[in-house]
Structure 1
Amino acid sequence: MITFEQVRSHQIPTLQATVEEYVEPSSGARHIHLATSQADLAFLVGFPTVPDSNDGRAHILEHLALCGSQRYPVRDPFFSMLRRSTATFMNAMTYADRTVYPFASTDRNDFFNLLDVYLDATFFPRLDYLNFLQEGWRHTLEDGKLGYQGVVFNEMKGAFTDPIRALYNGIGAALLKGTTYEVISGGDPLAIPGLSHQMLKDFHASHYHPSQAVFMTAGAIPAADIQRQIAERVLARLPGAAPRRVPQLAQAGTPRETTIRVPSQTARPDEFGLQLAWLLGESADATVYYHANLLQAGLLGDASAPLKKAMESAGYGRPSRLNGMDSSPRQMLFHLGMDGLTEEQVASARARILAALERAAEDGVPHSALRAALRDIQYGQRDTSSGRMPNVMNRMLQALPVAMRGGDVVGALDTGAVLLRLERDIADPGFFKGLVRALLDTPARLDATIVPDAAYFTARAAIEEERLAAAQAALGDDERARIEADSAALAALQGLASDTSVLPRIKPGDVGPAPRVLPDIPAPRDGKYIFPIASNGISYARVQFDVSALPAADWPWLQLYSDLRRDLGVNGYGYEEAGAWRQRMVAAFKLSLEASVKADDTLELALHFFVTGLREEHGNMAEVLAAFIGGPRFDEHERIAFLIERMVKNRLNGLANSGNVYAALAATAPLSPLRRFEDAAGGVAALPFLGELQRLARTPEGIARIAARLAGVHAQIVACEATVLCAGTGDDARELAALIAPPRADVAARSDDPSLPRGREPGSDPGRPANLALHAASQVNHCSIAWPVPGQKHPQAPALAVAAELLTHQLLHQALREKGGAYGGSASYAGSAGLFTMGSYRDPRLAATYADFHAAIDRLLETEFSDEQVEEAIICVIKGLDRPASPFDSVLNAWTLKVRGIDTALRQRFRDGVLGCTQAGVKAAVRQWLKQGTPSRAAFAGNTTQDLDGMQVVDLLALSKES
């Protein structure tokens, strides 16, 4: 009998959990279980994947493993389970040195269903040749011309649009030479066609074995129950053991220099950069990890920190987005760099950074900065917040590389012991100085000059075309016949209906009939709403001003205010002092501008001042709110100019990488007040404002006018009606609320300056559909199409929500991803905005994708779906409604629903409508609102020589008026 032996058990009171470590002796497989009472039941299995080439084998294998297995010979069990499960999270991720397959669910039966599918997928995948052609790469012949196609191939073309990715890849190739980190684990599209199907199968055989695996689980399930299934499904069928694969260690060597070229839309003279990177000890070593954490906090934690100050006060350039500790590789890296430089400024920037390090090694940093860093570690241990993945899953993913690299996984999950040790360490004034000196003395250092390359994409495209031309010239009849046969076989496979009957599923009758319980909204006390929640000793306060009455022309100014205020001075403090003070006082503080549609279909716009911290910091939290609301400073003109320049340049450098966002907002802005605001604040409509703002900020007179306008915006904000939300454990929320003064400030109103840039409407008039091709240089497209539809209160809203899931899983996935090669394709119903959208992501096509959008509507109306397919779509909607949220996120969800006028009765009616949805109801809603409706379209087009399907070209760089 195969059994796991317990190695250790350790309680973590701050997590309200117990870590249990197990090993199966015969294989060496490890199981780490986090026993908790949380709703989420989580699982992951991780494998060390250490490729030695750029052909993307680890990444393509991740895709293929989820394309059918021995017990589940379904063409696409992963995507099938997305619609047959109530999972709160399902994914698979390839990192530089590991591949991870995680999922989470709140239902025990669903958890074990998914466990069965994941175990078979990872250890016993079919790795079918035709799936390799679909997911990896293949040759195509269109009108006799040879080309490439494949999901990963196109995904990585899109990934290469990010300049930071190019920078990071270049650092790995130079500093970590001779290790797996030298190569691009996701795959370089120029190298992916060198991978064969057999090479992929060999890689699976050598890397995916129980002896290599680390299993991690969490939740209120006994570890033995999970281990029995692992033993039966995997260990009994794959005996034996092999030495665990670990990534290679880079040689320390001597300081190195290199040049790294990164993609740029314009390659302006001031787009050069400098990047220094140091190779430290192993990241699984807690001492190495937390010493790097302290270095990051002390050197870069706020505007007064030595390195941050040196880079921001240079009078040229700005800090790189790649700054600080990097624990992704086996050996910790530490990055310091600047961008926005001229070629002549690179040497000066290098000298400035190294001089600032020398001063830090001599003078150290204030003890309060290091104390704040330890406070942040303690805060992170208690934090229950959740983002796109459950909180417990995030903790597991952070601990996994420690476990895989032979580190102390308990120490990775429980920071109690390390905090005590660090408390003693930082008491010594020489401790931090020693950390900086050790960094300076580390010989394994890379000095990289960053060069902007406007021809980055065209050069890569030329190499690809040259290789295809050479291959076509050498193409014989047999090879041509093979390509045509492969294409025909793949098309036939993609056209087959997938038999999912062997897969387990959750049915509508298996889910609860009532909506998820949300906190009640209490009666306010002096404009304050108090929420007692189970927050694990963390408290939250949000002061929100209703700025809905401000005109649309002010929306970009409100967004600018929200973006800049945190980094400016307050109450007599300059921005450096204010940053250090805020960092010392609270764990987190931010401003945000958010919009929602109210019950009367008008727009509510709120400016939020948000602060959170440990319950011991209530007084600090109240002080920070009072300072930022009541004591702003707008006289730091150089600082404002610097922040504007940094913000605008980052936005312009990221045009291609954010193309999907620009396209989605441009398509929906004419149809929805909510999206019109979002477009004006951060989409295509904001680009002219940013361009004018940047030029204005380059003169003393212009920046003075901007500062005065920001002061006027502040006066407008604090004159608006304010509400306070406080949440915390037990009586903490009430005690915190008592410390927060009424959110008013005695600020004289200031007149507007009509000559300053104003917000503009999107490219199309409100109500008039868009038809735009947004262009910036890239090798992929992002396509979006939208229809105005009724909101969540309408009787047909449930049918529209179910229709989106049917379109996504039964039609668009096959047309856009499997056949079209896009990385993603989906439909969505947004009841809060009154929109129905379809979109594609990292798409090699454009016109053909829009044809597929319209064809999908016709096919939905013509197809007689099975009851099972409709039920799967219903489950997809329900699991979105039932997704667990952290206690404070639940408060915010309840508040948003209150603003929208969605009460419990309406939530119940919508849920009943979804659970009772029929195929006829879906088709009636689609026919009325989509087939008979007029859509609005906007695509991000990577090049304008392709068929743009009659769309009007908008050059995003020209729109910004950036010279």
Structure 2
Amino acid sequence: MKHMIYLVAITMMISMWSCSDGPAHKEGEVYHGFRLIENRFVEEVNANCLYFEHEKSGARLMKIAADDANKVFAVSFKTLPQNDYGTPHIIEHSVLNGSENFPAKSPFDILRKGSLNTFLNAMTWPDYTAYPIASMNNKDYFNLMHVYMDAVFNPLLHSDPRILKQEGWHYELDDMDGEITYKGVVYNEMKGAFSDPERQMGYHTYKVLFPDNTYGVSSGGHPEAIPELTYDYFKNFHKTYYHPSNSFIFLYGDADLDKELEFLNSEYLSNYEKQEEKLEIPLQEPFSEKKTLEESYSVPEGSDTRDKTFLGYYYVAGLTTDQDLTMALDIISEALVNHESAPLRLALQEAGIGKDIYAYVDDSKQNIFQFIVQNANPEDGEKFQEVVSETLRKVAQEGFEEEMIEGIVNRMEFRLREGDSPYKGLIYLFSLKNSFLFADDIYDGIEFEKPLAAVKEGIKNGMLQQIVQDYFIDNPHALMMVFKPEPGLEKEMSEQTKAKLAEYKASLSEEELQKLVEETKALKEYQQAEDSPEAVASIPMLSRSDISTDVQWYEVAEKSIGDIPVLHYEDFTNDIVYANFFFDLRPLPQELIPYANLLSQLLGKMNTENYSFGELDNALNIHTGGFYTYLNSYLENDSDDKLIPKLRITAKATVDKTDKLFELLDEILNHTKIDDTERLKELLIRHQSQVESQAKNYGVGVAMNRLTSYFKNAGMFNEMINGLTYYDFVTDLTENFDSRNEEIIANLQKVASLLIKKQNLIAGITCSGENFTTYQEAFNNFVPELAEGEVSLNQWKFNLEPKNEGLMSSSLVQYVTKGYDYKKLGYEWDGKMEVLNQILSTDYLQTQIRVMGGAYGGWAQVSPTGTLMFASYRDPNLTETLDNYDAGAEYLQNFDADSTEMTRYIIGTISNIDYPSTASQRGTIAMSNYFKKETKEKMQKERNAILNTTAEDISGYAQLISDVMSQDIYCVYGNDQKINAHEELFESVRQVVQ
């Protein structure tokens, strides 16, 4: 439900905020060149929302004058690509690589090093590009606004072709006899993105659905097309789209509106003349008949292709500006597909098609309703169409189950009203996207009450059935796709690219080759060169006096109810209770740890004594705002020898539903029918599909988990519940379920009986003091239902050993990790290591891995628990990256920064520590502090160390890096050919997905 991602958190409890009164602004009046078109109080955001147009330049601006210190600024542009070059995406990167007022090579990276921002990024959608920042510091907020406005309107990309080469693509040739290769940050980013089969599937799909407008091409860029982008085309695209008349400026929070408008007008917008021509996206004409498509994606050579096909159904369904329709489509996506007892989900299960299915609405100018089946087979395509058609006809005739719809609407409404996010301004920005791009009323994106009421009324009158009939059954603007695996396809494509580059090289004269070698060398020298002191000094920064010296500290009050410890974090939550239940995992024998995670995935989805699984899903939707079960762990005093693992259950509900929340908790914990073999098999098959998808599409997470499992107890625990070890476990159970189901059920029942006991529970609650009384009464009624019994904690002994594995996949890029536990080498944690982490991530690895190496990212992780790790993301390299990791010690030996540079690094470090939070998040932090035995005094000591870190302290860590890297422990997830070509590096190699 992509559309709901924008809406879900856009609102907050109305009583939480008071509107910022500020000066009275009158409609029709001009303020610093901005004419106020409308000043509307919007109840959903509980603030005055002022909509302006800058008369001279044509820029549009919305200010949400909320009483929120976490201020947001963004400037956005409608950007409409006509091909797969990725021009909008490459420009998004490139404008942040120097501008007229800030001529450093990358002001963005300098800001990352030393700003108190709470958000700093840029992003490209299929139809627009946004540059948002957020900060709780007023001075920092205006500094960031200044840099971003200069970046988008006065970038150096028009005069410096090296920016396109670095961020987009270039030919690289180190010597006359070498191979020419493609390099570039976006080029490699998109190679990584297109390693995901579902990304490829979407690319092929949209090409068919939208052959005549911008949605039929990749705004991010297709790796095969990016090298076709020329410098002239690149510059002209920026000139065309990056004009104030094509912009939308968004302001949110408690900053002075008069100061904001004055700055934007005087520094930037007054320099432009309004353009009358509006850039529009033509609607795609509907098809006369539904289309079908079959395409292939790559899997490693020798892979088993059974159960690896994706099936997709897509409908272009009306306009996104039709709020009633778009909201109703979101509801249908849940009711038709995503709900536990959704009719299409059940029908496909019964037909034996695929292992999992999900649906969502992509809200471009025209809605695209889509559902995708995973782990099917090509021959399922015809039956898939039949099942879909039959199910849609049945739904159109009979409607959806009333309780199901009631629950889905309730959950949607709960999320809309809750607004449990500290980044409300950013959420409003994204919610306004389609309003500023397409709608007649720009306020539509943040006003949900009217469409919500209309949809609730429409449901009573058959609205959902009519939409199914009109936009699905009778709609020919549709596509059915079969996306099947093809072993070795990536190798074939790679060889084609090599042949193309070889042919290009052969076409060059000796003089041209020499020129290319020289250009390669010059670009690397440019990338390695440091900015001049004047360029760096141009980037505005704060002083140390702008940093608070005090830590953010949250702690619980330790209470008890019925002999059960209760951790109460008291805060205003507007009558929502955020309940937590922690069951210690250590009563389990070690071999059952993976079963504990499997149990957590089943709770709430199985039949129980009093509910079918569908009825239970309905009840949870109707009476709660969410119910989640998962495993996590804490390290007491940051010691890897003191692992505190928990089965954690979280649930939230309005205070008047607290009794019902506990009733459902009791039903799930004490009355789940784990021995329901048929339902267990269904869920296990689906879960295996999801775990496999995660393993294939989250390479950096797989590699980082695997690496830490070599040397950390916490790492091994995470690997057993969330890594390849767990994938192997779940896959084995799934493949052998029919012969082992009794064993599986017995183990799950054993895990439940050992864990879910009164004596093994610690409860946590975030709510007001007044609401605690209601919670206590409901808890007292729940306690007698819990099983009782002695609890004995086991001492787990993990076998930790370096494996230095190469994890092979069809990925076009690598994820390279290397590290160790520095505490095992005799080092201890110090707060200054937070600054070390910031410097290594934003300076050394950023330069060597991203700028020089062409990867999408590289960073360090230096943890109080002892982990010191380097990682790269969407990296074209392997051995070069490992070499760069090893050279980190030399970088630190030569590290020399003056007081201004150190201040910048220290500010950036604090920015990563201080961030806005909601009541529920503060409660979670407080409970974590309790289990970790964290103290305010310890945190304050670490903060003091950060604030007093010197360049000499940083250079003193050279030996630490040298000692960690010399352990030579690494794990690489990447392209099977690349890993096989360097097989000598690895103790073992394996396919990620067997």
The alignment's TM-score, normalised by the length of structure 2, stands at 0.90
* Aligned-pair Cα RMSD in Å: 2.5
Report how far residue 2 of structure 1 moved.
4.8
Alpha-carbon distance between aligned partners in 1 of 2:684 and 2:190, rounded to the nearest angstrom: 31
Aligned mate of 2:805, from 754, 772, 783: 772
- What residue in structure 2 maps to residue 174 of structure 1? 208
Matched, 1:518 2:554: yes
Correspondence 1:494-505 to 2 at 5 A: 494-499=527-532, 500-505=536-541
Structure 2 counterpart of 1:754: none
Amino acid aligned to 1:94: T
> Equivalences for 1:123-162 in 2 at 5 Å?
123-127=153-157, 128-142=160-174, 143-162=177-196
Offset of residue 334 of structure 1: 0.8
Q: Is the 8 A contact 2:98 2:107 kept in 1?
A: yes
* Distance (whole Å) between structure 1 residues aligned to residue 196 and residue 362 of structure 2: 18
SS in 2 for 1:738: helix
- Looking at structure 2, the residues matched to 612 and 125 of structure 1 have their Cα atoms a distance apart, in angstroms, of 47
Structure 1 residues 22 and 58, CA gap change in structure 2 (3 angstroms): same
Amino acid at match of 1:310: A
Mapping of 1:182-581 within 5 angstroms? 182-254=216-288, 255-265=290-300, 266=303, 268-321=305-358, 323-327=359-363, 329-386=364-421, 390-428=423-461, 430-439=462-471, 440-499=473-532, 500-526=536-562, 527-581=565-619
Q: Cα distance, 1:679 vs. partner?
A: 1.1
1:953 paired residue number: 988
SS in 2 for 1:145: coil
Give the Cα–Cα distance (whole angstroms) in 1 for the partners of residues 716 and 285 of structure 2.
53
Instruction: For 2:524 and 2:961, locate their aligned partners in 1 and report how far apart those are by CA, in whole Å.
Output: 32
Kindly indicate whether the alpha-carbon contact (under 8 Å) linking 2:84 and 2:218 is maintained by their aligned counterparts in 1. yes
Aligned partners of 1:48 and 1:404 also within 8 Å: yes
Of 260-269 and 739-748, more deviation after overlay is shown by: 739-748
Structure 1 counterpart SS, 2:581: strand
The aligned counterpart of 1:782 is: 815
Residue type at the aligned position of 1:503: I
Instruction: Quote the offset at 1:790 in angstroms.
Output: 4.6
Work out the CA distance in 1 between the residues paired with 2:340 and 2:695. 27
Q: Is residue 532–residue 732 contact of structure 1 (8 Å, CA) maintained in 2?
A: no
| Greater Cα shift, 620-629 or 176-185 | 620-629
The answer as to whether partners of 1:283 and 1:331 remain within 8 angstroms in 2 is yes
SS of equivalent to 1:731 = helix
The aligned amino acid for 1:297 is E
Distance in 2 between the 1:935 and 1:56 partners? 38
Seen in structure 2, the aligned counterparts of structure 1 residues 690 and 866 have a Cα distance that, compared at 3 Å, is same
**Identity value in percent:** 22
Count of residue pairs brought into register by the alignment = 940
CA distance in 2: counterparts of 1:729 and 1:442, whole angstroms = 51
Question: Aligned partners of 2:970, 2:715: CA distance in 1, in Å?
Answer: 14
SS at match of 2:695: coil
Unaligned runs of 5+ in 2: 1-30
**Partners in 2 of 1:623 and 1:447 — Cα distance?**
43
Residues 532 and 730 of structure 1 are in contact (CA less than 8 Å); yes or no, is this contact kept in structure 2?
A: yes
Give the letter aligned to residue 521 of structure 1.
Answer: A
Unpaired runs of 5+ in structure 1?
752-758
Distance 1:790 1:511, change over 3 A: farther
Q: CA offsets, 1:31-74, max 9 Å, x none?
A: 11122122311111111111011111111111101000111011
- 1:560-606 deviation digits (Å, cap 9, x = unpaired): 11122232122332222322332222221110111110138311111
Find the partner of 2:771 among 732, 741, 745.
732
Q: Is the alpha carbon distance of 1:928 and 1:58 closer, same or farther for their aligned partners in structure 2, counting shifts above 3 Å? A: closer
Check whether the contact 2:528–2:852 (CA below 8 A) recurs between aligned residues.
no
Cα separation, 1, equivalents of 2:688 and 2:718: 17
Describe the shift of the 1:687–1:381 C-alpha distance in structure 2 as closer, same or farther (beyond 3 A): closer
Distance in 2 of aligned mates of 1:750 and 1:715: 11
> CA shift at 1:742, angstroms?
4.2
CA contact (8 A) 1:543 1:723 kept: yes
CA distance in 2, matches of 1:621, 1:14: 27
- 1:273 to 1:790, Cα distance in 2 relative to 1, 3 A: closer
Alpha-carbon distance in structure 1 between the residues aligned to 2:489 and 2:104: 40
- Return the letter of the residue paired with 2:770: D
Q: How much does 1:223 deviate?
A: 2.8
| 1:405-456 deviation digits (Å, cap 9, x = unpaired) | 225342321322222222322222x222212211211221112222222233
Query: How far apart are residue 746 of structure 1 and its match?
Result: 5.5
Deviations 1:222-270 (A, max 9, x none): 3332222211222112222243323231111222221132344535133
1:705 aligns with 2:743: yes
1:895 to 908, 927, 933: 927
- Alpha-carbon shift at residue 683 of structure 1 (Å): 1.3
CA distance in structure 1 between the aligned counterparts of 2:486 and 2:632, rounded to whole angstroms? 36
- Cα offset for 1:371? 2.7
Aligned counterparts of 1:224 and 1:647: Cα–Cα separation in 2: 54
Cα distance in 1 for residues equivalent to 2:898 and 2:441: 51
Once residues 615 and 724 of structure 2 are traced to their aligned partners in structure 1, the CA distance between those partners, rounded to angstroms, is 36
* Paired residue type of 2:385: R
Deviates more, 1:461-470 or 1:221-230: 221-230
Alpha-carbon distance in structure 1 between the residues aligned to 2:378 and 2:797? 36
Preserved CA contact (<8 Å) 1:788 1:835 = yes
Give the SS at the match of 2:156: coil
Q: Mean Cα displacement is larger for which, 839-848 or 331-340?
A: 331-340
Pairwise CA distance, 1:279:
0.7
Q: Distance in 2 between matches of 1:300 and 1:688?
A: 28
> What is the Cα deviation at residue 822 of structure 1?
0.8
- 1:82 Cα offset (Å): 0.8
CA contact (8 A) 1:141 1:484 kept: yes
Determine the C-alpha separation between the residues in 2 that align with 1:616 and 1:783.
50
Q: Which residue does the alignment assign to 1:870? A: 902
Q: Is 2:840 the partner of 1:807?
A: yes
CA apart distance, 1:204: 0.2
How many Å apart are 1:171 and its aligned residue?
A: 1.3
Q: CA deviation at 1:685?
A: 2.6
Task: Report the alpha carbon displacement of residue 307 of structure 1 after superposing the two structures with TM.
Answer: 2.0
In the TM superposition, what whole-angstrom CA distance separates every residue of 1:290-328 from its partner, at most 9, and x where no partner exists? 12122223323412222222223333323434x23221x
Query: Structure 1 pair 624/408, CA: closer, same or farther in 2 (3 Å)?
Result: farther
Higher mean C-alpha displacement, 476-485 vs 357-366: 476-485
843-852 or 604-613: bigger deviation? 604-613
Mapped contact 1:384–1:536 kept (Cα < 8 A) = no
Distance 2:747 2:350 in 1: 24
Separation of aligned partners in 2, 1:435 and 1:635: 39
Amino acid at match of 1:598: E
- How many Å apart are 1:923 and its aligned residue? 2.9
SS at match of 1:634: coil
**CA offsets, 1:123-168, max 9 Å, x none?**
1111121111111111111442111111111111111111111111
